[in-house]
Structure 1
Amino acid sequence: MSDPEVETAPQKDAIGRLLVPLAILWALYHLFGAGLGYAGAHDLRAVHIAGAITLIVAWRPLPAPFRIIDLALIAVTVTAISYLIANADEIVGANWFTNEPLQRALGLALFICLMEAIRRALGWVFVGLISIFLAYAVLGPYIPGMLGHRGLGFDRLIYSFYLGNQGVFGSLIGISAGVVALFLIFGEILNAGGAGRTFINIAIRIGGRLKGGAGMVAVIGSAFMGMVNGSAVANVTSTGVLTIPLMRRLGFSRNLAGAIEAVASTGGQFMPPIMGPGAFLLAELLGISYLEVATAALIPSALFYLGLLFAVWLFAGKRGLQPVPEDMIPSRAETYAPAAMVALFVPIGLLIGFILARYTVQYAVFWAIVAAIGLFALQTLAVRLVGQKTAKGETHAAPIRFGPAIYDAFARAADTIAYIAMIVTAAQLIVAIINLSGLGVTLSQIIVSLGQDSAILSLILTMIVAILLGMGMPTPAAYAIAAAVLGPPLGQLGYQQLPSHLFIYYFACLAAITPPVASAVFAATAISRGKVFPTAGYAVMLSLSLFIIPFLFIDNPVLLMDGDISEVMLVSVTAAIGVATLSLATIGHFQHAIQPALRLALGAAALAMIVPGILSDVIGLVLMAGSLFLHLKRPQQRMVMRSKDI
């Protein structure tokens, strides 16, 4: 795979097909083991890694003559993990660095199996990245300057990976097995019940009648899907197959259509209540509840989508793009059919309700999944017994088969869980080396020294590093690594923990639309058949105003709901105006083309509103209002002049 986040469909030969029922049981093990606490943390993480490696190897096999290698990899993995489970008490209670020759051999064998699974799931880029960090860990004494260190031996590396708490039993693996896996199952169950189509119908009803309505539908639909999906690429592939053809049909270019869908899907990783897998890592690393993270992300995510909607509206005016035709807008009865609304929003409401009631996230999502399955079964039964009306009013029985649909949903969930497990495990290995070698401390010292001279410089450097990491890897891994390196120095510079980590996470998300890798853009162009770099260019133009949002909330945590309601509302309004103003400056069109000088003035006004404080906000608002007044007045003067000439 050329792109680490664009996953190809698994190839299932005879062995792969035989493993499908076991994969479903593996997914159910996560559901009951984590959701109801039936599995201990040690066993859950071990089974998580064993199943992930097995499924990746079996469902992405080598050519037929080499299948014996696949079987050997699976056998070694199962053996090494079985040893860990059988000797769990001894391993957990052992003193540091007491690994025996057998343990070292099993650890090395498991590491080789894991690297091969990572290669098949994520590509050579990840293998190369891990290898570079391993080389850094071993060759530390030979590296000159600040980056040099005393080096890590083979025994210590293997111990940390196999028996310590920074390898297969690391905290990131625990989040992958105990939380992320459950949400992936939840998303697949909702999609099996038609969540994607329901969300798109609602989006068409809400935004279809606006200028550039098809683009509005893409933004709103992707925002809805982001609440239950949390992956930029998965969001593109699930909603883009519906929204991109609609945009193309209504006059959007291939590149613009792909860009709108890519940016809209990227925001889903920051959209409560579910957000992306990285959000769960964030909560774990900070030792806070997921509810706190979701609450803090509420206003920034709203600003993201409001800013994007405004940018699409401006582009629609610039290109003369019209609303969705009335005959393509689903009826109110079809959109808000009681059965569809109940099947979709009751599980989501139940999830939010349990979280608000301070139950664990695992318990909340378990019962949300149970509710989703139960309602899907009832909906299927009702359709079979009563039938459903077509658009012409005819009634027929829908060919919905509950059993196969749920079976396929759990199989897809198992494959996605295995894929995410490879991402998180790779990140766990890199983070472990960063911590063990002292690289994180060294880089922190460099950033702090820069930040002492200029806080904004340290933030810009943090942004660049987070985006660069996100270009080469999916968001969860990019955030985990960036947090290990960038989180401590931001704290030393006086920034609060939660705003700092959300700042890092936000830019790790935006890497999905930032060239040259831009995984969400690649996924969108696969559907739109557009060109990658022009699409990425449009994506950057649409999202440029969105890049200021983290700078707003890290300097003013009120935007993270940290303040009284009046203060939160005031700061939110000024932030929204600032984001909209920068969109005006970037796109350069409002009713008609904006002159370059006025675009610069609007950009300066937006930047003034970024700086915390009443004075800067007032200056920005006055500058913005004056610029818009001059802009809107200009064509009126031209019309008067033309009338006089006539």
Structure 2
Amino acid sequence: MTFPDRQQPVGAKEAAIRDFAEQAEYGQRAKLGVEGLLVGFVALCWSLFQLWFSSPLPYVFNVGIFNDSQARLIHLAFALFLAFAIAPATKRAIDRIPFYDWLIGFGAVAVCLYGLVFYDDLVRRAGQPISLDLLIAGLGILLVLEATRRSMGPFLVAVAVIFLLYSYFGRAMPEVLQHRGASVTRILEHQWLDTQGIFGVPLGASTAFVFVYVLFGTMFNKAGAGHYIMQLSLAFLGHLRGGPAKVAVVSSGLNGLISGSALANVVASGIFTIPLMKRTGMSGIKAGAVETSASINGQIMPPVMGAAAFIMVEYVGIPYADVVRHAFLPAAISYVSLFYIVHLEALKLDIEPMCHQQIRPAKALLLRYGLGISGSLMVLGSIYYLVLGIQLGFGSLAPLVLAAVIGALYLTALSVSARHPDLPPENPDGALAALPQGWEVARSGLHLLIPVIVLVWCLIVIRLSPGLAAFWATVSVMAILVTQEPLKRLLRRERGLAAAFANGCRAVVEGLVLGARNMVGVALATATAGIVVGTVTLTGLGLMMTDAVGLLSGGNIYLVLIFTALVTLILGCGVPTTANYILVASLMAPVIVELGSEAGVAIPLIGVHLFVFYFGIMADSTPPVGLGAYAAAAISGESPIRTAVQASVYGLRTAILAFVLVFNPELLLIGIQSLWHGLAVAVASIAGCLMFAAATLNYWMVRNRWWETVVLLFVSVALIYPAGWLDLLYEKYDALPPSALMREAEAAPADARLVVRFQGTSIEGETVSRLASLRLGPKADGAARLAHSGLHVSTGAEQVRVTQVRFASYAARLRLESGYRITAVYRAAQRPSPGFVYIIALVLLAGVAFSQVQRLQPERRPFPFRRKPEPDPAEESP
């Protein structure tokens, strides 16, 4: 992979940057001749297979039904073939596919098809493999490792090999990590022939969920959504101070809703925004850092979240809609604070708006935007109740009626779009004489909102499975791709309908091919990460890691978190985000929960997983390796290292937020008792992050004095985590006897958490004590709410004991086991409200504000602090 020359002419440099991104995303053989047709055909077949597998069609026609294990074999077969076709073994064979790569590719397919063809035989002789089974398993592991090396470099492969060696040489390990060692036969069987290794949970998530979501994002971008988002952000934000930087933040965040790739996000929007940022006076380093930070944070934006959200579903044991709900507020906080950072940078550098618009009266602006927003909300509300009415009134015919309604909405939105000119093409090097009009841009792409509405409706409202929801959303995008241009020409009474229809069909095929190529790296990363997960289950490494990390940290939960963050950042230098999350989450997430329990802190499992994920994405901007920063530096013409360092400074807010998520579950919308409570938490936490940004930049209204920075840091912590200060003075919980379990479970609010202490004996015969935060779900009796977490208990006269832990449930993820006794139930203690901490923080903030206002220039002061200008004696009448 070659890094683009920053001294190239503008047009050539843009092409080189796109080639660099293609090489990083899809492999170095991004462009092939005739051989590329076969590669494209295979990629097209992969996408069609995944759509078929995710759809209800196999069950409608009773044909082509594959179980999860069979689908994973087919999924990996496609990924291996494409990896050997588009990723060369050496740099010499970039423009062609040598014969040995064809042989290896077809051999990899044969290895996977062996498991598919002889699936029933392998199931019958499970635990007793024959020699051919073991030979195929060994070849399969080697092929997966080689394909991963070609596609993503040697780092992830080295990690997987280390874990394989650990499985075999367990007796030679230090005592704290020692195990009896596994034979070669046992390793091969566990890693390839079982569903706990390569074909385990990570590859299963890639097969069932991730592929179709990546395909949806690719097709949606192909339909023009990325350009629409960019133009919309430019229209509404371009006239502000630091407008291009704010456009980068907002457009990258919206692109993150549909794209899981930070590098693609940097290139797609950075080619346009970075030159505009430099043109307004921002340095190239800061412009590249802003784009890098915005694009990387796009991966924390639900629903895609760099494909990690779907794997979190499997690891945390909660529905996908709950993962999205927990991740939404932290993502919003991170983006609002980044938006504020670029605003402060614009004030520091005294950057003027890029284009001056006619200033309208405030009343007219409020009326215009108020009518637009309220009208949009009314339309969305009407659609919501219309769809609910259709589902209740038409029964089995509801899907057909809904399809007709969606078609009518699409035609209506498209007719509105056809009355406006198409959006201008991107021209990053041309002068921007005037900004596009906001509502005109919005109306020109209203039909592009339909796939998003379909996706959100299927996921959140009717709660379809993630794969099925993405299937319907992808089908809607494909329909738009095929029909939008012909229908626009028809509505505008233009010619060329057949050509427009052909172009739409061609765009669908190109999107299917591109989506499959996007997935090669993700599929191989999840397969190779499965080797690590398989080693953990084979050797019991997870339990040993708890002892080892506890010994190194002395049981200090803060040191454990710092250690986990460092490991995640280091792994992120050479491992893709999704694989990084799988590796660290499988090893460290249970350790953090366990050691937190020993320290008396009930840590939500989703908080730990988001902590790991956040630090994993930050590795993309951390020097010395960070492809996002390298791509942004190539566009800006600055040093990649200095760009990465500046992006890391901007990313400090995400790092602090990740730590807070572990200890403050309210940011995850856990324990929120009312709408007003949720709004108070959201506003206070956003304000806290804004003040943290002002402290780290050493600038708020003016440059900070040292004591102002200290006060702003205190205020930020108080607003983000007010309960932390109360914990220093008051007990957090009141301990109740075990007999109170059912009463407290029934009395708790809907979707609340119940903190319970368990005690029992581990497999090794040691006494364990675990503090767990149980998910109770909707209101019901105590037993039903405990069962929502997968826990069943028996209550006796003297003790309460766990009788059953449902497999793969939330309770199982917390390492609770049958036979454990409940020794205590905890209820929130009566103590002062966090509002007192808010009041103290606001008083201190007011003091800093008053101090800084006095140093502002008179014309820049807020209205209450402005002084009337002194009369000029020369102008006074005698």
Q: TM-score, normalised by structure 1?
A: 0.92
**Pairing partner for 2:455 from 342, 347, 351:** 351
Match of 1:467 in 2: 569
Preserved CA contact (<8 Å) 1:160 1:167: yes
Residue 258 of structure 1: how far off its partner (Å):
1.1
Tell me the equivalent position of 1:360. 465
Q: CA RMSD in A?
A: 2.7
1:310 equivalent to 2:340? Answer: yes
Matched AA of 1:30: Q
Match of 2:701 in 1: 591
Partner of residue 624, structure 1: 845
CA, structure 1 residues 333+500, in 2 after alignment: closer, same or farther (shift >3 Å)? closer
1:562-641 matches, cutoff 5 A: 562=670, 563-564=672-673, 565-613=675-723, 614=834, 615-635=836-856
2:407 pairs with 1:377:
no
CA distance in 2, matches of 1:2, 1:430: 30
Q: CA deviation at 1:628?
A: 2.7
* Counterpart selection for 1:507 from 615, 623, 626: 615
**Letter paired with 2:40:** V
* Distance (whole Å) between structure 2 residues aligned to residue 489 and residue 145 of structure 1: 18
For the residue of structure 2 that corresponds to 1:592, the secondary structure is coil
For 1:152, give the aligned amino acid: A
What's the CA shift string for 1:161-185, capped at 9, x where partnerless?
A: 2201123421111111111100111
- Aligned match of 1:94: 125
Contact 2:573 2:620 (C-alpha < 8 Å) held by counterparts: yes
1:453 to 1:151, Cα distance in 2 relative to 1, 3 A: closer
**Which residue in 1 is equivalent to 2:642?**
534
Partner of residue 43, structure 2: 23
Measured in 2, the distance between the counterparts of 1:526 and 1:155 equals: 49
Which stretch of the first structure deviates more once superposed, 557-566 or 99-108?
557-566
CA pair 527-436 structure 1, distance change in 2 beyond 3 A:
farther
Shift of 1:273: 2.6
Following superposition, the deviation at residue 333 of structure 1 comes to 5.3
2:118 aligned with 1:79: no
Task: State whether residues 252 and 321 of structure 1, in contact with CA within 8 Å, keep that contact through their aligned partners in structure 2.
Answer: yes
- Could you tell me how far 1:107 is from its partner in structure 2? 1.2
Matched residue of 1:337: which SS?
helix
Residue 448 of structure 1 contacts residue 490 of structure 1 at CA under 8 Å; is this kept in 2?
Answer: no
Task: Give deviations 1:433-482, integer Å, cap 9, x for gaps.
Answer: 23323333222223345677533333333322232322321111111111
Task: Specify the code of the residue in structure 2 equivalent to 1:354.
Answer: C
Q: What is the alpha-carbon distance in structure 1 between the residues aligned to residue 181 and residue 849 of structure 2?
A: 60
Q: Is the 8 A contact 2:298 2:305 kept in 1?
A: yes
Structure 2: runs of 5+ lacking an equivalent: 4-22, 59-64, 358-432, 597-601, 724-833, 859-865, 874-878
Letter in 2 for 1:240: G
Contact map agreement 1:482 1:504 (CA 8 A) in 2: yes
Separation in 2 of the partners of 1:387 and 1:528? 41
Per-residue deviation, 1:382: 2.2
Whether the 8 Å contact between 1:227 and 1:274 is mirrored in structure 2 is: yes
Match of 1:257 in 2: 287
Instruction: Report the Cα distance in structure 2 between the residues aligned to 1:580 and 1:246, rounded to whole angstroms.
Output: 25
Equivalent of 1:69 in 74, 80, 100 = 100
1:523 alignment counterpart: 631
Indicate if the aligned counterparts of 1:216 and 1:309 stay in contact, CA closer than 8 A: yes
Tell me which residue corresponds to 2:82.
55
- In structure 1, what is the equivalent of residue 206 of structure 2? 176
CA displacement at 1:546 relative to structure 2: 2.6
- 1:9-408 mapped onto 2 (5 Å cutoff): 10-36=30-56, 38-62=65-89, 63=92, 67-96=98-127, 98-325=128-355, 326=357, 327-332=433-438, 334-338=440-444, 340-342=445-447, 344-356=448-460, 357-386=462-491, 401-408=503-510
1:566 maps to a residue whose letter is W
Query: Structure 2 vs 1, CA of residues 465 and 406 (structure 1 numbering), >3 Å: closer, same or farther?
Result: same
Given residue 419 of structure 1, which amino acid in structure 2 is its aligned partner? G
Judging changes above 3 Å, is the alpha-carbon distance between structure 1 residues 352 and 611 closer, same or farther for their aligned structure 2 residues? closer
Give the match for residue 487 of structure 1: 589
Distance 1:556 1:454 in 2: 18
> Which residue identity lines up with residue 355 of structure 1 in the other structure?
L
Mapped partners of 1:296, 1:161: distance in 2: 33
SS at match of 1:590: coil
Distance 1:242 1:533 in 2: 22
* Equivalent pair of 2:179/2:539 in contact (CA under 8 Å): yes
My pick for the range that moved more, 371-380 or 580-589, is 371-380
Per-residue deviation at 1:636? 6.8
Q: Select which of 415, 424, 442 maps to 2:526.
A: 424
* Distance in 2 (alpha carbons) for counterparts of 1:8 and 1:594: 47
Larger Rg over CA atoms? 2
Check whether the contact 1:50–1:77 (CA below 8 A) recurs between aligned residues: yes
Closer, same or farther in 2 for the Cα pair 1:90/1:555, shift >3 Å? same
* Corresponding position of 1:394: none
Alpha-carbon distance change, 527 to 630 in structure 1, aligned in 2, over 3 angstroms: same
**Amino acid of the residue matched to residue 189 of structure 2?**
Y
8 A contact 1:45–1:173 mirrored in 2: yes
Deviation at 1:16, TM superposition (A): 3.5
Quick one: structure 1 residues 176 and 316, their matched pair in 2 at CA, closer, same or farther if it must change by over 3 Å?
A: same
Check the 8 A contact 2:232/2:438 in 1, yes or no: no
The one-character-per-residue Cα deviations of 1:119-175 (angstroms, maximum 9, x if unpaired) are 110012222222222222222222234233322221112112220112342111111
Identical pairs, percent: 30
Shift of 1:334: 4.1
**Offset at 1:626?**
1.9
| Range with greater deviation from structure 2 (104-113 or 466-475) | 466-475
Match of 1:393 in 2: none
Q: Deviations over 1:170-209 (max 9, x none)?
A: 1111111111100111111111111111000111123222
Partner Cα separation in structure 1 for residue 552 and residue 199 of structure 2? 35
Secondary structure of residue in 1 paired with 2:81 = helix
Q: Deviations over 1:550-576 (max 9, x none)?
A: 233322212212212222222222211
Given the superposition, is the C-alpha separation of residues 388 and 213 from structure 1 closer, same or farther in structure 2, using an over 3 Å criterion?
Answer: farther
Structure 1 residues without counterparts, runs of 5 or longer: 390-396
Q: Go from structure 1 to structure 2 and tell me whether the alpha carbon gap of 1:605 and 1:404 turns closer, same or farther (over 3 Å shift).
A: same
One-letter code aligned to 1:35: S
User: Which residue type is aligned with residue 597 of structure 1?
Assistant: W
d(CA) in 1 for partners of 2:555 and 2:44?
Answer: 55
Question: What is the SS of the residue equivalent to 2:854?
Answer: helix
- Amino acid in the other structure paired with 1:369: T
Decide whether aligned partners of structure 1 residues 86 and 7 sit closer, same or farther in structure 2, where only a CA change above 3 A counts.
closer
- Secondary structure (helix, strand or coil) at the match of 2:110 reads helix
Residue type of the alignment partner of 1:120: R
Q: Aligned letter for 1:568?
A: G
Letter in 2 for 1:587: L
Residue deviations 1:23-59 (CA, integer Å, cap 9, x gap): 2011110011123364321221001100101011112
232-241 vs 207-216, which moves further:
232-241
Q: Indicate if the aligned counterparts of 2:483 and 2:501 stay in contact, CA closer than 8 A.
A: no
Q: Cα distance 1:287–1:586, how it changes in 2: closer, same or farther (>3 A)?
A: same
- Give the 3 Å change call, closer, same or farther, for CA 173–388 of structure 1 in structure 2: farther
CA distance in 2, matches of 1:388, 1:465: 61
Counterpart Cα distance in 2 of 1:224 and 1:593: 32
Check 1:16–1:515 CA distance in 2 against 1; reply closer, same or farther (3 A cut): same
Report how many residues are paired. Answer: 632
Aligned-residue offset at 1:308 = 0.3
> What's 2:538 paired with?
436
